[in-house]
Amino acid sequence: MAPFLVFTGLFLILPTLYIVVGAFRATDGGFTLQHIAGLNTPAIRNAYWVSIRISFWSALFGCAIGLGMAAAVIHGGLPGRLRGPLMTFSGVASNFAGIALAFAFIATLGPAGLVTLWLRTEFGVNLRAYGFNLLSTTGLIITYLFFQIPLMILIIAPALDGLKREWREAAETLGASTFQYVRMVALPILFPSILGCFALLFANAFGAVATAIALTGSSLNIAPILLFAQIRGDVLGSPGLGYALALGMVVIAGVANALSIWLRTRSEKWLR
Amino acid sequence: MTRFLAWAMFLFGVAYFALPLFGMTEFSLRMRRGVYSLDAYRVVLGDPQFQATFAYSTVMALLTIVVGVLVVVPTAYWVRLYLPRLRPVVEFITLLPLVIPPIVIVFGYLRLFNTSSWLPLTGTAAGTNLLLLMGYATLSLPYMYRAVDNGLRTIDVRTLTEAAQSLGAGWATILARVILPNVLVAVLSGAFLTFAIVIGEFVMAALLNRPAFGPYLQLMGANKAYEPAALAVIAFVVTWVCMGLISLVTRFQKFTPAPR
């Protein structure tokens, strides 16, 4: 046990505590709420707000599409052979985040990307004229979906497997259509699971820094990029404010994760 | 009707995933005007900086795996055998790196271990390397712990330990020659996942200012056109190989769960 406690204490717990404590420590060493209050500036509020919006939408679409794909393969009557490859691919894609992912989307939807050029030459559709820009919140959401959807597929599949055949047969015996079965049986049972996955996807997107930096440089004002700039060069002009900014990220990610764990444990009651 | 919707959903997803992969591959082949060529790859692979950073990150990933195994295997074993009541606590700690964003962890490192602190690791290159290594081991902790713990679940730890003890084996021998070989498949799964995560990691390496593959990728992305696409293809292949190896070793596992 000793090596584990020393290791996690020194390289996980203490560094985090240092940041948390720093957010409440005045320059003279006393307690202060000034740094937390200092977060309430237009620039920082905006950074958090954009981050939350990106995480929210990418989690929402990630949940919907991931659930749809997983349900299609598990319950939708698609050949069972598709399942293995889909799961393997999901494992790969959910880990294919970071800088390289941004490159892939720049090569596809960027100004000189494959799809952009193709739409322009074949259909005369100029994406830019429609206001589309990969280096924006919309672009970031589309890019994040590349790891959000597979993550959803991986974590929702066990819950979908837990839906018992008997429930569907019972519903059909009582004359329910597929739609009624989904709306009145399957979705209510899955709902806590889905919400839990949503919270997890939210936290996942909220902490993603590398993809955003590679995609937008530092032009987009989101919380992790602001924190990155603050750590590199104290752009906020106050170390205490940097700690408070980091604390805010820990709190948001922590709440999302706690919700996710609570909801998913609750749903297991039904799906065993 | 259901089946039609299912196919539509599935194919929509496939298209969404296929396009960027196809896009980056196609783009990486366009360096020479008018024809497809492997020029971008030739340039990238011949770049000494690519070789140096890729080697650095590979070594880092391998060391991370070693540190991870040394920390996780004895802990998971000990908790399972003697301290089952501490299990929730240990599991909670191992999940923390998924909750606390890596950027916050490395921020803490920079303050806690700076040159004027009690343990000035960031003062020297070797110290910073060590710090990055520990950071990576922290990132891999959730995956490593879960993999190893799952592995331990499939073997009868108590009987194996007692058998080894009655033959006169000490703790180090039991761990290295009895437990480790039995959970090797689990350890390898965790190891390949760790490799995939560490090889392209950006935030920690950039903020600790180490010459790793992630910061190199970012630098290329900011300055070059075709090379980044080729690098993305290489990174994707590396991730794919790691995941492929995981399913390969899992398939070779002789599955004989212990009676409970």
- Answer whether residue A120 is part of any domain: yes
Interchain CB contact of A23 with B (< 8 Å): no
The DSSP call for residue B116 is: T
Partner residue opposite B107 with nearest CB, options A14, A145, A246: A246
pLDDT > 90? residue A186: no
Q: Is residue A29 part of a domain?
A: no
Distance from CA of B185 to the nearest CA of A (A): 17
Partners of A76 on chain B (C-beta within 8 Å) are: 2-3, 5-7, 9-10
| Spatial separation of the C-alpha atoms in residues A140 and A252, rounded to whole Å | 19
How wide is the angle at C-alpha A268 spanned by C-alphas A267 and A270, nearest 5°? 75
Domain count, chain A: 1
Size of interface A-B (CB pairs under 8 A): 245
| Residue B128: other Cβ atoms inside 10 A | 18
pLDDT at B4: 86
CB A257 within 8 A of CB A190: no
Q: Does residue A129 carry a pLDDT above 80?
A: no
Chain A residues with CB under 8 Å of B232 CB are 100-101, 103-104, 107
- pLDDT tens column, B199-230: 989 999 999 999 999 999 999 988 888 889 99
Torsion angle defined by CA atoms of residues A70, A71, A74 and A77, in that order, rounded to the nearest 10 degrees: -130
The CATH label, of 1.10.3720.10, 3.30.70.270, 3.40.50.300, 2.120.10.30, for the domain at B48-252 is 1.10.3720.10
A16 located within any domain? no
Rounded CA gap, B147 and A198, in Å? 24
Contact B109, B131 (CB under 8 A): yes
The proportion of chain A whose per-residue pLDDT surpasses 70, expressed as a percent, equals 98
∠ CA B143-B144-B148, nearest 5°, is 120
The whole-number pLDDT of residue B130 equals 93
Residue A175, chain B, CB below 8 Å: the answer is: no
pLDDT digits (tens, 9 = 90+) for B94-109: 989 988 999 999 999 9
Quote the CA–CA distance of A53 and A37 in Å, as a whole number.
22
Mind listing the pLDDT tens digit of every residue in chain B (260 residues)?
Answer: 678 888 888 999 999 999 999 999 988 998 888 888 888 899 889 999 999 999 999 999 999 999 999 999 999 999 988 888 888 899 889 989 988 999 999 999 998 898 887 788 888 888 999 999 999 999 999 999 999 998 898 888 888 888 998 998 888 888 888 888 888 888 998 999 999 999 989 999 999 999 999 999 999 988 888 889 999 999 989 988 998 888 888 877 655 555 44
pLDDT for res B260: 47
Q: How far is CA A190 from CA A77, A178, A267, B246, in A?
A: 19, 16, 7, 29
Q: A207 lies in a domain?
A: yes
A208 CA: distance to closest CA in chain B (Å) = 8
Residue A167 belongs to some domain of the structure: yes
Nearest chain A CA: its distance from B144 CA (Å): 13
pLDDT digits (tens, 9 = 90+) for A34-92: 888 888 888 889 999 999 999 999 999 999 999 999 998 888 878 878 888 888 888 88
Structural domain includes residue A1: no
Chain centroid offset of residue A255 CA = 14
Put simply, whether B5 touches A (Cβ < 8 Å) is yes
The pLDDT assigned to B25 comes to 92
Residue B253: the pLDDT is: 66
pLDDT of residue A124: 76
Highest mean pLDDT among A93-102, A114-123, B143-152: B143-152
Q: Which pLDDT score is estimated for B35?
A: 83
| C-alpha to C-alpha distance for B100 and A253, rounded to whole angstroms | 7
What's the confidence (pLDDT) of residue B128? 93
Put simply, whether B83 touches A (Cβ < 8 Å) is yes
Taking the CA of residue A27 and the nearest CA in chain B, the distance in Å comes to 15
Pick among A6, A10, A12 to test the B interface (most B CBs inside 10 A): A12
Q: Is the dihedral of CA A48, A50, A55, A60 positive or negative?
A: positive
Beta bridge partners of A25: A31
| Distance set, CA A43 to CA A71, A195, A228, A239 (Å) | 41, 30, 15, 16
In chain A, residues 45-84 whose CB comes closer than 8 Å to chain B: 65, 68-69, 71-73, 76-78, 82
- Could you tell me the residue range of the domain that residue A189 belongs to? 42-235+242-268
CATH number of domain containing A142? 1.10.3720.10
Domain ranges of chain B: 48-252
B161 CA to chain A: closest CA distance, Å? 17
